Amino acid sequence: MSDLRALLKKHWGYSEFRTRQEAIVEAILGGRDVAVVMPTGGGKSLCYQLPAVVLQRTAVVVSPLIALMQDQAASMREIGVNAAFLNSTLDYEGAREVRRQAESGALQLLYVSPERIVQENMLAWLKQVPLAFFAIDEAHCISEWGHEFRPEYRQLGILRERFPGVPIAAFTASATRIVRHDILAQLGLRDPALSVSSFYRPNLRYVVHECAPRQQDSMLDAALEWYQEGNVILYAPTTKAVESIAQRLGGQGVPIVPYHGKMDAALRQRNQELWMSGEKRVLVGTLAFGLGINQPATRAVIHLALPKSIEQFYQEAGRAGRDGEPADCVLLWQKRDIGLLTHFVQQLQDPAERERAWQRYHTLRRFVEQPRCRHRQICLHFGETPRWETCGACDVCGVALEWTTRKYTPSPRTKAKPTPAPIAKAAAAAVTSSLRTSGQDALREKLRAWRRDLAKQQAVPAYVILHDATLDALCRQMPRDLGELLEVPGIGERKAERFGTRILELIAGVN
| Residue 374 near residue 367 (C-beta atoms within 8 A) | yes
| Residue 257 near residue 246 (C-beta atoms within 8 A) | yes
Domain presence at residue 283: no
Instruction: Note the pLDDT tens digit of each residue in 167-211.
Output: 999 999 889 999 999 999 999 999 999 999 999 999 999 999 999
| 349 and 450 housed in the same domain | no
The residue with greater pLDDT, 136 or 472, is: 136
> Domain residues for 52?
2-196
Q: What is the average pLDDT across 287-312?
A: 83
pLDDT tops 60 at residue 396: yes
Domain presence at residue 261: no
Helix (H, G, I), strand (E, B) or coil at 248: helix
pLDDT tops 60 at residue 418: no
Q: Considering its fold, how many domains does the chain have in total?
A: 3
| 152 and 226 housed in the same domain | no
Task: Give the pLDDT of residue 390.
Answer: 94
| 122 and 48 housed in the same domain | yes
| 92 and 222 housed in the same domain | no
Q: 366 CB contacts (<8 Å, ≥6 apart)?
A: 377
- Reference 152, options 111, 185, 186; nearest CA is 186
Q: What is the average pLDDT across 371-384?
A: 96
| 377 and 478 housed in the same domain | no
| 75 and 99 housed in the same domain | yes
Task: Give the pLDDT of residue 407.
Answer: 58
The residue with greater pLDDT, 422 or 476, is: 476
A 10 A CB-CB count for 68 gives: 19
Task: Give the pLDDT of residue 384.
Answer: 94
Q: For position 339, which CATH number holds? A: 3.40.50
Q: 506 CB contacts (<8 Å, ≥6 apart)?
A: 443, 446, 447, 450
| 500 and 376 housed in the same domain | no
| 337 and 357 housed in the same domain | yes
Task: Give the pLDDT of residue 440.
Answer: 84
| 321 and 191 housed in the same domain | no
pLDDT tops 50 at residue 482: yes
Instruction: Note the pLDDT tens digit of each residue in 483-509.
Output: 999 999 999 999 999 999 999 999 998
Instruction: Note the pLDDT tens digit of each residue in 96-107.
Output: 999 999 999 999
Domain presence at residue 124: yes
d(CA 472, CA 365): 40
- Of 430, 454, 473, at which residue does a domain stop? 430
| 215 and 321 housed in the same domain | yes
pLDDT-derived band of residue 421, with 50, 70 and 90 as boundaries?
A: very low
Instruction: Note the pLDDT tens digit of each residue in 70-81.
Output: 888 999 999 999
Task: Give the pLDDT of residue 431.
Answer: 39
pLDDT-derived band of residue 292, with 50, 70 and 90 as boundaries?
A: low
Q: What is the average pLDDT across 308-333?
A: 92
Rounded to 5 degrees, φ, ψ at 24 are -65, -45
Task: Give the pLDDT of residue 419.
Answer: 35
Q: For position 497, which CATH number holds? A: 1.10.150.80
Domain presence at residue 208: yes
Instruction: Note the pLDDT tens digit of each residue in 1-42.
Output: 559 999 999 999 999 998 899 999 999 999 999 999 998 777
A 10 A CB-CB count for 212 gives: 9
Instruction: Note the pLDDT tens digit of each residue in 268-280.
Output: 878 888 888 778 9
Task: Give the pLDDT of residue 147.
Answer: 75
d(CA 288, CA 260): 6
pLDDT-derived band of residue 404, with 50, 70 and 90 as boundaries?
A: confident
Task: Give the pLDDT of residue 423.
Answer: 42
- Angstrom CA distances, 142 to 180, 309, 336, stand at 10, 17, 31
Domain presence at residue 180: yes
Domain presence at residue 288: no
pLDDT tops 50 at residue 297: yes
Instruction: Note the pLDDT tens digit of each residue in 425-462.
Output: 444 333 334 444 667 888 988 998 999 899 888 888 78
Q: What is the average pLDDT across 55-62?
A: 94
Task: Give the pLDDT of residue 320.
Answer: 92
Looking at this protein, which amino acid is placed at residue 192? P
| 16 and 121 housed in the same domain | yes
- Of 196, 214, 240, at which residue does a domain stop? 196
Q: For position 113, which CATH number holds? A: 3.40.50.300
Domain presence at residue 238: no
Of all residues in the chain, the percent with pLDDT exceeding 90 is 67
- Of 430, 463, 497, at which residue does a domain stop? 430
The residue with greater pLDDT, 87 or 186, is: 186
For the chain, helix, strand, coil in percent to 5 are 50, 15, 40
Domain presence at residue 263: no
Task: Give the pLDDT of residue 47.
Answer: 96
Longest CA span, the chain: 67
**Which DSSP symbol is given to 30?**
T
Q: What is the average pLDDT across 109-116?
A: 94
| 389 and 454 housed in the same domain | no
- Reference 348, options 331, 360, 334; nearest CA is 360
Q: 114 CB contacts (<8 Å, ≥6 apart)?
A: 62, 64, 141, 150, 152, 153, 155, 156
pLDDT tops 50 at residue 137: yes
Q: What is the average pLDDT across 312-320?
A: 91
